[in-house]
Amino acid sequence: MQIDLNCDLGEGAGNDTLIMPYITSANIACGGHAGTFQTMLETSKLALKSGVKIGAHPGYPDLENFGRVSIAMNRNDLYESIIRQIASLAEIVEGLGSALAHVKPHGALYNDAARNIQIAQIIADAVFHTDPHLILVGLSGSVMHSAAQATGLKFAHEVFADRSYTNNGQLVPRSQPNAMITDTDKSLAQVRQMLLCSQVDTITGTTIPIQADTVCIHGDHPHAPSLAQLLSHLLLPPSHP
């Protein structure tokens, strides 16, 4: 079994160095919900040293709430904010002799885009404007896929090792109990089910279909380094750590 393993990094969780050797894609915070020039530079260098693909991880411009609260923004303001965030990381990565591979929204912006086609389309338009060759990463089976298709972007259906699902395929909100899966054995079992059976058990015990192009773990997960290592052995070729 071989599939992309991604992680949200550069967010100040303190685990980046421990996680990076075990993943294949890093979503680096680029100034909206977290991230400074220095953290973007350091995380990008770490990714390139490990041979990890770099993606921009833009969120609502809301450092106070870590981008986990929905913000009502008009189209132009949100569009420009996303472009600025992607561009800030792209400039750093290009200065290191590489290039961005993908864009994955963060937090509330990600969840809003998974449900709201207008927000999804703003994101897709901003990504396409920045670089039409970038891959848009979004919630598997969500309207983000439709927005990417309408814009002409490649889309990666993302599934989560450490999050629970609702019956409609959305992520259980972090404000609700059991939204995060903290048991590593349960995380591994969920990933196996999603990849081998193209299904996932929801928070209510219902089984729903799901498509997986890339698997995500969160850098602030309580067992992120060990989970990353276990998943790398499950998902990646033997030559990977």
pLDDT digit string (tens) for the chain, length 241 residues: 579 999 999 999 999 999 999 999 999 999 999 999 999 999 999 999 999 999 999 999 999 999 999 999 999 999 999 999 999 999 999 999 999 999 999 999 999 999 999 999 999 999 999 999 999 999 999 999 999 999 999 999 999 999 999 999 999 999 899 999 999 999 999 999 999 999 999 999 999 999 999 999 998 888 899 999 999 998 865 555 5
Q: Six-digit token pair at 234?
A: 């499950």
Q: Which domains does the chain have, with CATH numbers?
A: 4-163+212-235 (3.20.20.370)
Has this prediction a pTM greater than 0.85? Answer: yes
What DSSP string runs through the chain? Answer: ---EEEEEESSS-S-HHHHGGG-SEEEEE-SSSS--HHHHHHHHHHHHHTT-EEEEE---S-TTTTT-S-----HHHHHHHHHHHHHHHHHHHHHTT----EE---HHHHHHHHH-HHHHHHHHHHHHHH-TTSEEEEETTSHHHHHHHHHT-EEEEEEESSB-B-TTSPBPPTTSTT-B---HHHHHHHHHHHHHHSEEE-TTS-EEE---SEEEEETTSTTHHHHHHHHHHHHS-TT--
Q: Determine the Cα angle at 98 with ends 96 and 100, to 5°.
A: 120
